[in-house]
Each structure stands twice: as C-alpha cells, then as structure tokens.
A and B are shown apart, each in its own frame.
Chain A
Amino acid sequence: MVVELGNYALILAMLLAAAQAFFGLAGPALKRERWVAAVPSAACGQFVFVALAAGSLIHAFVTNDFSVRYVAENSNTALPLFYRVTAMWGAHEGSMLLWILVLSLWTLAVVVRSRYLPREFAARALGVLGLLSFGFILFTLATSSPFGRLIPAPADGNSLNPALQDPAFAIHPPILYAGYVGFSVTFAFACAAMIEGRRDQLWARWMRPWTVSAWAFLACGIALGSWWAYYELGWGGYWFWDPVENASFMPWLVGTALIHSLAATEKRGLFKGWTLLLAISTFSLSLLGTFLVRSGVLVSVHSFAADPTRGVYILVFLCLMIGGALTLYALRAPAMQSNAGFSLLSRESFLLFNNILLTIAAAVVLAGTLAPMISETLKLGTLSVGAPYFNPSFLVPVLPLLALVAIGMHARWKRGGLGEARRSLLWLLGIAVAVALVLAFGVYGHPMPLVPIAATFGVWIILSALIEPIKHLRRRVRLPWSVAGMCVAHIGLGVFVLGLTFVNSNSVERDVALKSGQSAQIGSYVFHYHGGQQVVGPNYDAFRATVTVTHDGHQVALLHPERRQYWVQGTVQTKAAIAASVPRDLLAAMGNNVGAGAWSMRFQYRPLIRLVWLGALIMALGGALCVFGRRQRGPVRAAATLPAAALPLGAGAAPAGAAGAAHAMHSVMPGPGGKGAV
C-alpha cells in the first residue's frame, strides 16, 4: 500500500514539475504576475511529493516488504538496518529516485534563496529546473520505476551486492549526485540569463555560489568514490579511468574552468559567451555521464544497469535539453558579449589559460571515454582505452596548468603584473625546487624526471597560496572569506598533486603465494603470513588471515585481510586490510587457496596516497569557504542591485535602484588591493 502511495506521489510530483516549468517559463514571458507567483509553490510541492515517494521506498526497505520487486532484488532480512536504508540507491531504479530527490532539494534551495534574485529571473530558472525534473521523473516512471510489485512475494530478498555494503558507499552516491545535479542550477541560471538576454553580468554573480557548491560536492563525491574503490573493491587501485569515473571527472574539470571564468565575468564582464557555454557544457557532461552509466553502452565496473530503452530515452532527453540550450545560446549570446582590454600578464589572461588547458584536459578524457563506443558503432573493432593512454595525454595540458597556478593567483586584473608578489614567488620557487629535490631523491629516491618537476609545482602552489594569508596576518587585516577560500582550494590542489606524484612513482605491489610462516619483501617492508582461521560475520562466512608487517625488524602493522563468502548471493568478496597513515599505506588482500597449504595474496606499499583524497577534500573546503563568505557579505543582494526597469513585476524594489546601481558598480571594480577572489 505504501509504495503505491509513493508511486502516486511521484506522479503528482511530475505534474507539479510540469506546472513549475510552464508557469516559470510562460509567466514572465506573458507578464502574468500570478503565474510567476505560483512557481515557488509548485517547486515546494514538487519537493514534498518527491520526498514522500523516496520515503515510501525507504519504508519498504526498512520493513522488508519483498513484495516490492526492487526491494526483493536489493535487500534481505539478514542485511543490517543501515544497509537496508542505503540499499535504496543500490541499483538503477532507486538511484534514479535519489537523483530526482537531490534535484528537488536543489530546486528547494533555489526557492529559499530566490528572495535575493529578481522574481522574473528566479521564475525562469525554476522553470528550467522544472523541465529537468519533469524529464527525469517521466524517465523513472516510464522505464525504471522502483515501485513495481512482485507476486507472489518471495520469502526473502536477493540482498545487496556485497561490494556496496559499506559506510563510504552509503554516502558516496548522495554526495556525488549533489555535485552532478547541482550543476543543473548553474545550467538553469545560464538559460534564464539567455532567455532574458541580459546585458549586465549580474547573472554571473548569482550563478557563482551555486556553481562552487556543486563543484565542491562533486570533488567530495569523486574522492569518496575513489577511496571506496581503493579499499572495497579489494585490490588497491584508486583510479581506473573507468568510464563511470570519467563521467564524473569531466564535469568536474569543466566545472573548475567555469568557476574561474565566472570570476572574470563577474569582476570584469569578460568572457560572457564562453562562461555561458561552459555552464551548458558542464551540465551536458553530467547528463552524458548519466547516459553512459545508465545505457550500458560501455564496459564498466559500474554498469549494473544495462537497458537500451533507457539509453535511448536519456539520449533523446540529452539532445533536447542541450540542443535547446545551444539554440538559445546561438540566438542570444552574441548580443550579451561585451569587450574590455587586458594585458598579457593580467589575471584575465591567466584565467583564460586556465580555461583553455582545463578544456583540453576534459577533451582528452572525453575522447578516451567515447573512443571504444565510436569504434564499436563504426565496426572498427572492439577496443579498450586505459591508463596507458590517459596518464600521458592528461599530463600534457595539466603540467603547464600547474606551472601557471602559483603565478596566476597573484596576477592583477586588467593592466596586469605581479607587483610585490613577484619577488616572493621567485623565492618560493627556489624553496619549492629544493623541497621537491629532497623529496624525490632523498626521501623517495626516484630518478624519473617528471617526479621532481610535478613535486616542485605542488610545493610551489601550496607556498604561493600562503602569501596572501600571511600578508593579511602581518598587517592584522581580516582575510576576506572568498580570498581565503581561493587560497585553501589551491593549497588542496598542491596537496593533491604531491600525493598523486609520489603514489604513482613509488608504489610497490606484489602478488605472492605464501604458506603460514612465510614472508615477502615489498620495498623496504616485509610482510609475514601467520596463517588464518574461519570466522562468521553478520551475513557472511570468512577466512581471516593474520599478517604482520615489519620495517627494519620492527613490527609496524598487524593486518587481517578476509576472504568473505556472502550467504545470500553466494558471492566471494575480498576484504583488503589496510594500515593507513599519511606517509604510507600498507595493504594486504587475500586471493585463493592455491593448494599445498598456500594462499595467494597481494601486498602493496603506497606512499602519500592519503594526500590524494585529502587534497580533494581541502579543495572542497575552499569552495565551501567561498560560498559561506558570500552569505556573510549579505549574499547577492540582487533585487536591490537591479535597475527598476529590469523589474516590471517587482514594484517594491524600484526605490532601491540608485543605491543598487552603486552596489553594482562596486561589484564590477576590483577590490582595493586588486586582489579579488578567484
């Protein structure tokens, strides 16, 4: 009964989304005041009914209602309660519902913050979001409803894929989706700005906090996914250039470009057309990601849902949304452009280089991701593209990008130049080279030429990002939130680069077959196998080994890798044991019993791997500081900033016109020190 209500609620939510889209887009166009006023209510209603639908499915999971097919396929009475709840997004249907829920949450957030926006603009943006919600709910209801019944109901369910029974997995999809779907707000704002054909750059100001939030969520989501793959998939890889990983990585790369070009658009009114195009691309890549994951066109560890009709639907939806947005762009963007001069060494130039290089990086990833699909379609043979292609090709645009970050942070707007930062930067470069050489040759001892170069960039970026905070500290001036956010995000990048460099160059991995009492040397560590025993878990049996690791004769880690056999699905799953610390991870994973009393095992030493995820989290933290800073500043006081003429519907805002114009002027000018946030 409850899931039928959920199904019903989802249908109602779809109708409300349609109403939201219609009133939001037609209301301002036809100047119907009451239609515009109805948009926030429709959006809130849509959220309520989506939440009810999601709640009903969770209820079915918690109460073990196996007459619901989706529950029967993904849950089981032996499954702990926590995983019964997270099993809601354990497969395709539920994860689509989660997607819709996240979209309606973002929509709700736009409604809440819309008092800072002109009513027309907010209505249009919400209208576009309504279209998206409508499309996705229709997709879910038509091709992948999680509410279908199964009669007669089985006595027990099929249980959740063991690899997904994990706390990190529980939060990975919601956070990843918060990022993916968050870019739909950016997309909606870009569409609204183009529909209105705005000649000012206020839309960039409004769009920025949303874009940064989505970007930060996506960074966290990707890091979590990588971390989960590292310890849960059992074999110690943390990035596979898998199509699904690429699908989340591409929007993040283009989103990073977007954040930077938004800075130039907001502060100087530059690159408007390009920024709009990036906003469309970022969201398009998110949709493309959905298409790649959901259609099953690609071979992937994630492709648990392969169904051609779903692929076709998403492809059509993708073409409609992106085609529509690009048409709008072709019609409106040329009139919105404005030009202003800037010199070669200005902040603008560096933002431009950043954008070009990041776009190329995204294109490299896109090419590698789509190549197998294209080759297959054109009957050129089945091929696979992996790390041997991605690693070197990706470095080509990214290394110059890293070289520019440290300088770009300090370049001044318009006329350019580095000012007093120039000398500090040179000094810091010297220090960075020294630190990198010590790390590369002294600590890790690796002769590859790329290692000290990449490490230099990493250290230089971190040091360079500290210049501004230290200067403020000395002068006892408070650091603006947005500048703090930028510095923190760049420190995160530096940390990330350092981690990636050394984990790639200095990891040691070995597969061995060991009998109890034998040991194996991994780098400067010795792994000893002391045998194992059978243990029983909540829903599995396992063989649990005892492995100790010694370094220079001292024991540094005690590991218990397991090989689990889950009762319900009968699947065998390796549970790797990891001794984690910032300087190095030591990993042991069990293979099979290979006879003669020996077990196959994989041992790994991975230096600084924690910095990879830590760096991503610090980047996200930087984004959060920027968004938080905007709130502190009394965010985008949009309604007040707009000239009265732009607000035919909002009569109340008219008297504020003069003060607003002054505020708008200020927002265009760089700050007193010429060091606006990027």
Chain B
Amino acid sequence: MTPRRRRLVWVVAILAGVGLASALALRAFRQNVTFYFDPSRVAAGLIKPGEGFQLGGMVENGSLVRTPGTLKVRFVVTDFKHSVPVHYDKVLPDLFREGAGVVAHGHLDRNGVFIADDVLAKHDANYMPPPVQRTLQRTAASGGAAGAQAEAAIADAAHASGAVGAGAAEGVH
C-alpha cells in the first residue's frame, strides 16, 4: 500500500468506526440513561406511570414498614415539601435507614406509588448523594418550615461526615 492509500484507509476506517460507534452509542444512550427526580418534581406530574427513573430524597422518619417474615418493605421518600411512597421487595442496603439520604431506581405505578427495583448502596455511612444534597438545598432556599427541616438534614449529614474533624477541633470530642 502506498502511503497515500494507507492514509485513505486510515481516514475511512476511523470515520466509519467513529460514525458507527457514535450512532450506536447515541441510540444506547437515549434508551438507557435514567434521569433523577426529587419528590417535588414527581408531584408536579412530570413522569408517566411505568417510565423508569431515579428517585432521590430523604427517608421520612417513622415511615419504614415491613411485612414481617418477607422482603416487602414500604417507606416514604421526601424532600420536606412533597413525598412519594415507595415499595421494595429485595434486600435493603446496609446503610439504608430512616432520616438518611437515599437514591432508588424504579417506576411509578398507577396509584402514584414508586415501585423500586434497586435501592442504591453507598459504602460511607455519612454519605449524602450529591443530587439529594442539591434537592435539600433547593427546599432550604424556599424557606418556611420545610426549608428549616431540610437545613437541619443537611447540617446533620455535614456534622456526621466531619464528626471527628469538626467536632474535635472545637474540643467537643
């Protein structure tokens, strides 16, 4: 092959490859990317039943209900303005607890209940998922009783994650 023809093969191969890959990637992308919504946006009716998405917020205190002897659990995810009931029937992650941040993947059924097929596990006890953090900040900024609750939740998480750092520096430890 002459250098000229070789260059041509290069260019054609790369263009074809990149073209094909980006076409397929875009296709895969559109079908398989999931968006994140907080309870307020769910309440605004932006999502049709059956459509897959990620729901994020805080697990409402006292909302966790188990059906004894089975995997079925129910809890409520809230951003302190609106809340969404969630049903789940798999093993909950280690770090799942009431009053903590959570991100779940699933869809809404016709009654507005979120049927989760996965509750995401993060391996840091004090971890606040960034989207949840932003959700809470939005609520906090809106003021009122809900805002105050959201602020308290943010402060809780911040305090927990910096427990030794902040606490001990002030001699509280």
A residues adjacent to B (C-beta < 8 A): 69, 72-73, 150, 152, 154, 157-158, 161, 163, 233-235, 296, 299, 301, 304, 306, 339-344, 352-353, 356-357, 360, 363-364, 367-368, 371, 381-386, 388-389, 392-393, 396-397, 511-513, 515, 569-574, 589, 591-592, 594-598, 600-602
Contacts and interface: CB of A to CB of B under 8 A. Distances in A.
Contacts of B103: 299
Nearest to A515: B69
B10 A389 contact: no
B91 interface: yes
Given A594-B71, A595-B68, A339 B91 contact: no
5 A-B pairs closest in CB distance: A596-B69, A595-B68, A388-B32, A591-B91, A382-B36
B58 to A, nearest CB: 16
23 contacts: A69-B169, A154-B173, A163-B123, A234-B94, A299-B103, A342-B6, A360-B21, A363-B18, A368-B25, A382-B35, A382-B131, A383-B33, A384-B35, A389-B25, A389-B29, A396-B24, A397-B21, A515-B69, A569-B125, A571-B94, A592-B91, A594-B70, A595-B69
Contact of B66 (A381, A389, A595): A595
Nearest to A69: B165
B129 interface: yes
A207 B156 CA distance: 51
B130 interface: yes
Given A73-B164, A150-B168, A304 B20 contact: no
B17 interface: yes
A152 B167 CA distance: 11
A344 B29 contact: no
Contacts of B44: none
B31 A388 contact: yes
B14 interface: yes
A515 B168 CA distance: 44
Size band of the B side of the interface?
A: 35 or more
A154 B13 CA distance: 63
B122 A301 contact: yes
Given A158-B163, A158-B164, 6 more contacts: A154-B168, A339-B6, A386-B32, A569-B125, A597-B69, A602-B91
A223 B103 CA distance: 28
B145 interface: no
Interface in B114-173: 121-125, 129-131, 134, 163-165, 168-169, 171, 173
Most buried by A among B1, B21, B33, B91: B91
A600 B28 CA distance: 34
B69 A389 contact: no
Given A383-B34, A512-B71, A344 B17 contact: no
B4 to A, nearest CB: 9
Contacts of B125: 569-571
B1 A352 contact: no
A253 B25 CA distance: 18
Nearest to A509: B90
A352 B17 CA distance: 12
Given A154-B164, A511-B91, A574-B94, A385 B13 contact: no
A56 to B, nearest CB: 21
A73 B70 contact: no
B90 to A, nearest CB: 4
Interface in B1-41: 1-3, 6, 9-10, 13-14, 17-18, 20-21, 24-25, 28-29, 31-36
A69 B164 CA distance: 8
